[in-house]
Chains A and B, each alone.
Chain A
Amino acid sequence: MKLKLLNILVLILITTGLRAQNIVGEVEYRYKIFYDKIYSSLPHLTQQERDRILLTWNNPEGYSTRMKLQFWPEKSLYTYGEPYEVRSYSWQVQDYFIENNLNDQTYLKYMDQMGKTYIVRDSLNAPKWRVMNEIRDILGHMCMKAVSEDPIKGQKITAWFASDIPVPIGPEEQFGLPGLILAYDINDGMLIVEAEKITFGEPEQIITLPKKMKGRELSGSAYQDIVKKFIQTSVETKRAWMWEIRY
């Protein structure tokens, strides 16, 4: 049913062409991850180890990466943005692309995860959102709160969507709300993704996926099975899966 509703929305937008300037654009997000909080929350740790990690690795600023989302009524593209700082050394740039196609309700993910490159294609399946009674302002847009859960990763997701940008699109793996998701948060601040800049209108340089995509081709459910198994094995061997799977 959700699929149909998404279609209806797309249809309305296309047919009416309402305020079209608000439904095409580019968003820059700050992806801020707090490894100290995540690591100290691992289930196998003792209270003493948790305290030790938080004491020694406490980092109130988190670790930031700039991400970029381009959106149209019928699709979205998401990948890394320009780095915040030019550094005189370079770690391997991981590939991480998400392309959501709202017309035929499919997605393509091209990403380096768990030490391998995966090309995952499947039909879109939005998280089960619950819409809450809270509003917040992000970059001049009034956003409503919605929450959902990721049972595989054990994550509580709190998202803020702008109903005046009526595209069911968002950063990372979040989408399917009656407006663009401008911010979300996992487990009360272990990861904070927040829009820093919105530019409406056709983006100057459209994100392009690499021409030759090399990697393991999988369906969404097959990939989810791999992730599930990986997390399970990591928990069994008392390793932190977060280093290998995007949080």
Chain B
Amino acid sequence: MERNIVLVIDFIGKNLTLKKMKLLFSSLLLVAITFASQAQSKLTIRGTVKDTTNLPLDYTSVLLLSPKDSALVAYTLTNKSGEYLFKNVDRQPLLIKATYMGYLPIQKELVLPETDVLEVEEIRLMPILQELYEVVVKAAKAPLMMRGDTLEYDASKFKVPPGATLEELLRKLPGIQIDKDGNIVAQGQQVQKVTVDGRRFFGGNTKMATQNLNAESISKLQLYDDKSEQSKLTGVDDGVKEKTLNVELKEEAKKGGFGKVSAAGGTDGRYSTNASYNKFDKVNQFSIIGYGNNVNQTGLSFDDLQEFRGSSAFQFGDTGDFGFNGSGGINYITFSGGDREESFEIPFNNLSSGFSNNEAIGVNFNRLKNKKDFSGNYFYSHSDQIIESFNSRTNFLQDNSSFSSTDQSLQNNVAGHHRANLRFQNELDSANTITINAKGRLSSLNTSLGSLQELIRSSTEQSQMERDNRSNKWSGAFQGTAIYRHKFEKSGRNFAASLSNTYSKADQDGIQKSVVDLVNSTDPNTYFRNLDQLNQALNTNNTIKSSLLYVEPIKKIFFWETFYNFSQSKSETDRKVFDVEASDTRELNPDLSRFFDNTITYNRLGSSIRYANKGSNLSVGLAASNYRLNGQFSVEKKSEILGTVDKNYLNFTPNVSYWKTMKGNKRINAGYAMGVTPPNIADLQPFKDIANPLYIREGNPDLQPEVTHSFNTGYNMYDPATFINFQFSLNSTFYQSQVVQNQSIDPETFVTSFKAGNVSGGQRYFSYIGFGFPIVKTKFNAYLTANPSYTKSLALINSIETETNTLSHNVGVNLDLTPIEWLSLYAGTSFRLSKTKYEQNPSQNQDIVNLSAYTNMNVKLPKDFYFDMKFNYNRFENESFGFSQEVPILNAFIYKLIGEAKKWEVRLSAYDVFKQNQTISQFAGQNFVSTGRIETLSRYFLLGVTYNMRGVEVKSRR
């Protein structure tokens, strides 16, 4: 893109006349003879420097250089009489060079005398043409290059408007005029012909060239005297020179493109394909990507995502939320990759479980020019997933008895998501920046669920329920954000304002059917119920947010920060449930149908003082936050109002944070924050919700917000010389007021009633310790981790306060072994023991064990063959249930790169060689323990080919 125009001007001419040369030479000869008798190896060199008017030039730099590489040998300055003197110079071929401000440097080869003293002929410096120096060197900042008697300069700095012609460019160059007829006149002589890349342009018609060639497509201009056409034809030099302007067109601006295609097919009809292409230059980046597979890959890889989004891959600070947050003072930047319905982001690094067919396609365009950054992308993803799962759950009752339920289900989810993101950032000037973000999504989700639930009350009492649920859902959302940032003239004084609006709508239709089979139970109040219902739900939400921030610096190390946050979220939920009485009659069920609309208004005003100096940062602040919750609900829209919510909460939240970076890559941090979360509006309704007859929810109008006090502290260091690194962090949360679901379980019907309430005394501690060190430097590294955690939770169960303590230990060892260029080996293991203790019910205490180990191996074999292996072993144990499950998974790949440029790859992959694959989860809750298992893709083989325009990437090291 950079224009590199070099103009050559025959400028100096034959300046030193022959006469003068002769004179100098004879005097030089004389000096040489005088000293011939004392020939030694060391030289003394002297002479004078004058200007063209014969005035001595003092203070001129005189340099001695080696002629073969211009290496600097010696240098000095001239005195008041323009004289210079070098002593003790080694006898070697030498160049002498003199340079003085405003004069053209002159350089010439020295003829070494027989004697040890060399009197150099007088050096005369020519002043640089005033216009040339002012316009080219000073104003356009283009370096001047001396080539013999001619001067060249890079005229890329000469600004011409876009679309300007060569003529307009020539007008800007010193020493060149365009006369009234459009002829080019250089140094008083008319230019006879114009050539393009050395070839005649339209018969050498100069005007044709100057008026038609685009200045931006020109890389070099050279002006020289060419032989006449006549002499070229005849081969006889007639001595006539033609002033010639040669135009060199520039090579294509820095442009590039790369792309790859890969396709693989295998056993059981498994396949995987993906393709991407990028095209870019300095201003524009364009990319397209797509994939299709039935091997559970539901997102881009992180590398592909980066390439796809290019310069827009990482944008920080686009949320427009200002002021400290309630989680301990540090704003974490998180990247989440899932293909969730609510997300506007492109899914990446996402593997789904079960069996799925996935397709996606996306386009991205970025343009960066003149401090205006634009980026936009569109991504469509579609997946059809089948999940076969088995869950079992044991619920504990207060009398030390328990009951269990199992659920075997088959679920089919078909989801399609259209997502579009647009971002525009304009740095209006050095003080003002505007960022505009627009995001939109449109999703369709169809799910069908068939399940068989079993309730085991005792060995003799069991019941079963078959469920068949289906739903279709359309949802869409739009979010627009504008952020304005202003920097005041006083450095450090800043102002920022943001405004955003998010609108979302979801429309869902579904059927719910269940059939109960009472195997051994005769209980009329059965746990399960027969159902045949239709439901419809229409939810809308509109949220407006705005934030203001003002920062005032005090003596460059103190900052007074003031912020204001406002948000208002209005939502409307319209859920209708119909009982299907007969095949064609349906009747609204008033117990299950709800119309609910509410508004949550949030205002926060806060201020903090920050100290930032020499790596230390301390911030102390206080904010007043106010939540206002308004809502009302009824069975249907405009029917009798069943209840209203009108709550107002005011809290003062202090916030302290400290961090310091120290010498030797060490960092320490500590913080305290108070967090306030308002209750969920649904938990405030003074009404029993029996939408799910097994789990009845009752609102609590006296519910208070959840108030937490969080403390965090951390330390980390890294020594780049020894590769030793250490990390430590401890985060703790104390609940001043925690919103919990108090439960009561009917011992006869097992129906659980929930009512939200506030308790205080809950605690959570999370810590992390990591230590990495080399065992053999550059070849063998170890990394040890431990992250113990402790949680104490409280709730009322059947009106008894129960306390559940979970202490979890997790230790891990990771080893990286890269002994030789062609082999890398990674291995690690981790052990997790999670002990859950029930204070009121110690007989139910649980010990859950997860043990995992992995080995990854990459081997580079001869002839561009590679072998990779990944082995993962997981073991799940829960002694009190006698549960123990091992899942070893082995994946192996062998591939070969083909061709000199290694653009082709053939790969054979084997997944889950031991045919084990299932996903297992274990969880111990307040009064239950659950385990889940999902059947997923088992052993398959793939054979595939990849073509990569830039050569296939081999990732042997992580």
A244, B720: Cβ atoms under 8 Å? yes
A178 to B101, CA, bound (A): 13
The answer, yes or no, to whether A41 is at the interface (CB within 8 Å) is no
Given the known inter-chain contacts A114-B720, A132-B70, please indicate yes or no for A163 contacting B665, CB distance below 8 A. no
Chain B residues with CB under 8 A of A145: 143
A132 to B510, CA, bound (A): 81
The answer, yes or no, to whether A137 is at the interface (CB within 8 Å) is yes
Chain A residues with CB under 8 A of B720: 114-115, 230, 243-244
A56, B314: Cβ atoms under 8 Å? yes
> In the assembled complex, how far is the CB of residue A195 from the closest CB belonging to chain B, in whole angstroms?
13
Chain B residues with CB under 8 A of A153: none
A131, B143: Cβ atoms under 8 Å? no
A-B contact count (CB 8 A): 191
> In the assembled complex, how far is the CB of residue B817 from the closest CB belonging to chain A, in whole angstroms?
13
Chain A residues with CB under 8 A of B146: 133-135
The answer, yes or no, to whether A246 is at the interface (CB within 8 Å) is no
A136, B141: Cβ atoms under 8 Å? yes
The answer, yes or no, to whether A238 is at the interface (CB within 8 Å) is yes
A121 to B61, CA, bound (A): 30
A149 to B309, CA, bound (A): 37
Chain A residues with CB under 8 A of B665: 115
B101, A237: Cβ atoms under 8 Å? no
Partner of A51, one of B97, B256, B615, B957: B256
Chain A residues with CB under 8 A of B953: 46, 48-49
Complex: chain B residue closest to A229, CB-CB: B721
> In the assembled complex, how far is the CB of residue A22 from the closest CB belonging to chain B, in whole angstroms?
8
Chain B residues with CB under 8 A of A144: 99, 105
Partner of B612, one of A5, A87, A140, A164: A87
Chain A residues with CB under 8 A of B615: 90-93
The answer, yes or no, to whether B65 is at the interface (CB within 8 Å) is yes
B614, A90: Cβ atoms under 8 Å? yes
A140 to B137, CA, bound (A): 9
Complex: chain A residue closest to B951, CB-CB: A47
Chain B residues with CB under 8 A of A142: 99, 101-102, 137
A19 to B77, CA, bound (A): 12
Chain A residues with CB under 8 A of B107: 133
A85, B492: Cβ atoms under 8 Å? yes
The answer, yes or no, to whether B71 is at the interface (CB within 8 Å) is yes
Contact with A along B714-752 (1 / 0, CB 8 A): 000011110100000000000000000000000000000
Residue from A18, A135, A237 having most chain B Cβ neighbours under 10 A: A135
Given the known inter-chain contacts A133-B147, A137-B138, please indicate yes or no for A16 contacting B79, CB distance below 8 A. yes
A12, B76: Cβ atoms under 8 Å? yes
Partner of B75, one of A58, A60, A85, A178: A178
Complex: chain B residue closest to A44, CB-CB: B957
A178 to B869, CA, bound (A): 61
The answer, yes or no, to whether B559 is at the interface (CB within 8 Å) is yes
B311, A58: Cβ atoms under 8 Å? yes
Given the known inter-chain contacts A136-B141, A164-B101, A230-B721, please indicate yes or no for A52 contacting B492, CB distance below 8 A. no
A130, B718: Cβ atoms under 8 Å? no
The answer, yes or no, to whether B863 is at the interface (CB within 8 Å) is no
A56 to B314, CA, bound (A): 8
Given the known inter-chain contacts A48-B951, A131-B70, A142-B101, please indicate yes or no for A9 contacting B77, CB distance below 8 A. yes
The answer, yes or no, to whether A106 is at the interface (CB within 8 Å) is no
Partner of A55, one of B99, B278, B661: B278
Chain A residues with CB under 8 A of B105: 133, 135, 144
A166, B77: Cβ atoms under 8 Å? yes
A32 to B928, CA, bound (A): 61
The answer, yes or no, to whether B613 is at the interface (CB within 8 Å) is yes
Contact with A along B485-517 (1 / 0, CB 8 A): 001000110100000000000000000000000
Chain B residues with CB under 8 A of A177: 72
The answer, yes or no, to whether A8 is at the interface (CB within 8 Å) is yes
> In the assembled complex, how far is the CB of residue B301 from the closest CB belonging to chain A, in whole angstroms?
12
B612, A115: Cβ atoms under 8 Å? no
B61, A55: Cβ atoms under 8 Å? no
The answer, yes or no, to whether A112 is at the interface (CB within 8 Å) is yes
The answer, yes or no, to whether B421 is at the interface (CB within 8 Å) is no
A164, B721: Cβ atoms under 8 Å? no
A48, B258: Cβ atoms under 8 Å? yes
A55, B311: Cβ atoms under 8 Å? yes
A131 to B551, CA, bound (A): 50
The answer, yes or no, to whether B229 is at the interface (CB within 8 Å) is no
> In the assembled complex, how far is the CB of residue A150 from the closest CB belonging to chain B, in whole angstroms?
16
Given the known inter-chain contacts A55-B310, A134-B146, please indicate yes or no for A236 contacting B137, CB distance below 8 A. no
A178, B61: Cβ atoms under 8 Å? yes
Partner of B137, one of A47, A94, A136: A136
Chain B residues with CB under 8 A of A49: 953
A13 to B63, CA, bound (A): 16
Complex: chain A residue closest to B140, CB-CB: A137
The answer, yes or no, to whether A40 is at the interface (CB within 8 Å) is no
Complex: chain A residue closest to B314, CB-CB: A56
The answer, yes or no, to whether A88 is at the interface (CB within 8 Å) is yes
A51 to B557, CA, bound (A): 40
A56, B101: Cβ atoms under 8 Å? no
B492, A87: Cβ atoms under 8 Å? yes
Given the known inter-chain contacts A9-B75, A238-B957, please indicate yes or no for A115 contacting B721, CB distance below 8 A. yes
Given the known inter-chain contacts A130-B69, A135-B143, A137-B133, please indicate yes or no for A18 contacting B614, CB distance below 8 A. no
Task: Give me 14 other A-B pairs in contact (C-beta within 8 A), A89-B612, A164-B101 excluded.
Answer: A5-B76, A48-B258, A55-B280, A86-B492, A88-B561, A91-B615, A91-B661, A117-B663, A131-B65, A136-B137, A136-B144, A137-B133, A144-B99, A164-B59
- 16 example contacts (A-B, Cβ-Cβ < 8 A) are as follows A5-B75, A18-B58, A48-B258, A51-B307, A56-B313, A86-B492, A87-B612, A88-B494, A89-B617, A131-B63, A134-B143, A140-B138, A166-B59, A166-B61, A178-B72, A237-B778
Which 7 A-B residue pairings sit nearest by Cβ, starting from the closest?
Answer: A86-B492, A92-B615, A163-B61, A92-B661, A178-B75, A136-B143, A90-B612
